[in-house]
Amino acid sequence: MKKLALTILLFLLVVLAACNLPGGGAAPTEEQPDAVFTHMAQTVAAELTRVAGQASPTISAPLIPTTTFTPPSTHTFPSPPTNTPIPCLAVGYNDATIDVTVPDNTIMAPGQAFTKTWRLTNIGTCTWNSSYQLVFDHGDPMGVANTYAQPLTTGTVSPGQTVDVSVNLTAPAVSGTYTGYWRFRDPNGVYFGIGGAGTWIVKIKVVNTVVVTLTPVVGESGTIRADGGPWPDYTAGESNADITKTVQTYLAYNIAGIPAGSTITEAKFDFTDYITVGSPFNLGPLNAYVADYGATLDMADFVVGFPPGNIADWGSTAALNVVEASNELKAAIQSKIGTSRLILRLQFAGSNMDAVKDRVTFTHPSLIVTYTTP
């Protein structure tokens, strides 16, 4: 459109110029210069208005959506791990094997001597030798001086090797729980232990340990059969050639002297003092049962048959000759603590029906009981 307007403007200027040139014909009417220019301006303005009316309407450019540019997030990569240098002095261990002897809370008698052994590993970079020491650090020394020290090893322990380290100690004389803490010391006097400067321990419980020998209570113990008794001896088996007359012996032990709250740590049968008639072990094993009856023993306490549920048995005279510890006997006595009696019944497992007297008679059927007081 601008090109068209310029063309028209130039055309009008040429026409106007031609009108003012000299030439033949009628003399033109003289106009004032201002009027000429005013006329020219009006003509140009009119023409521009006409051309503008013919021009196409203005088309607005479509809006271009504006988007905000978001730079991609910066990914932060983790820093490479820092290699921690392995120290010269370090001690490692395995939870399951560190206590070779005397695990924590081991029960000891007053004044009992014992050896504590730890199994430890050199996880540092320096080799241990006899110049390194095992030293008491603090707590309960248990028979050694507060400044006690001994060589850690008589040889060498290279990095990665495991060594058993032992120290001889003595339990205190007074009941209680005692704990001692120990470490290593290098030739320069630097202390080290588990986890660097940590310690490892000896922990024991000292209790008053009592050993008693129990024998049957006279008048409450004895022998009975289905049709007779009691007799004051302690016999089990066949009473005579009549195989229907088997006998059982009952042994009442007084446990009232064991204080309530005590712990039975060991119980043994000592049935080594006896005599035999015939071949009693042809009747089967001799069984021991926990029994119960009133203040006196009588025929009503006889047990018919050969029931199960025994807590001990002996299959030969050789077995009777052994003083044998029994966990079942220990549990039976423990269950009766706080009462006055533990009663056992002895009987063979059967009869051989040979019409021959087969029996064993005990002279001093004893129980050896070890217990600790609270």
Q: What is the CATH number of the domain that holds 354?
A: 2.60.120
Shared domain check, 227 and 324: yes
Say how many domains are in the chain. Answer: 2
pLDDT attached to residue 207:
87
Q: Which residue has the higher pLDDT, 258 or 239?
A: 258
Q: What is the pLDDT of residues 91-109, one digit of tens each?
A: 999 999 999 999 999 989 8
Joined tokens for residue 128: 């241990």
Give a yes or no: residue 157 inside a domain.
Answer: yes
pTM of full prediction above 0.75: no
CA 152 from chain center: how many Å?
Answer: 29
- Domain carrying residue 243: 212-372
Shared domain check, 270 and 219: yes
Shared domain check, 367 and 291: yes
Shared domain check, 278 and 216: yes
Give a yes or no: residue 163 inside a domain.
Answer: yes
Give a yes or no: residue 242 inside a domain.
Answer: yes
Phi, psi of 204 (to 5 degrees): -130, 165
Shared domain check, 314 and 184: no
Shared domain check, 231 and 168: no
Q: What is the CATH number of the domain that holds 186?
A: 2.60.40.10
Give a yes or no: residue 112 inside a domain.
Answer: yes
Please choose, from the candidates 154, 156, 134, 159, the residue with its C-alpha nearest in 3D space to the C-alpha of residue 144. Answer: 134
Of 172, 190, 207, the position where a domain reaches its end is: 207
Of 175, 207, 239, the position where a domain reaches its end is: 207
Shared domain check, 230 and 130: no
Joined tokens for residue 67: 């988007």
Shared domain check, 263 and 148: no
Beta strands 359-362; 274-277: pairing state: antiparallel
Shared domain check, 216 and 203: no
pLDDT attached to residue 73:
53
Joined tokens for residue 71: 């730079």
Shared domain check, 238 and 116: no
Task: State percent of the chain over pLDDT 70.
Answer: 76
pLDDT attached to residue 273:
97
Handedness of CA 48, 50, 53, 54 (dihedral sign): negative
What's the rounded mean pLDDT across residues 213-234?
94
Distance from the first to the final alpha carbon of the chain = 120
Shared domain check, 337 and 244: yes
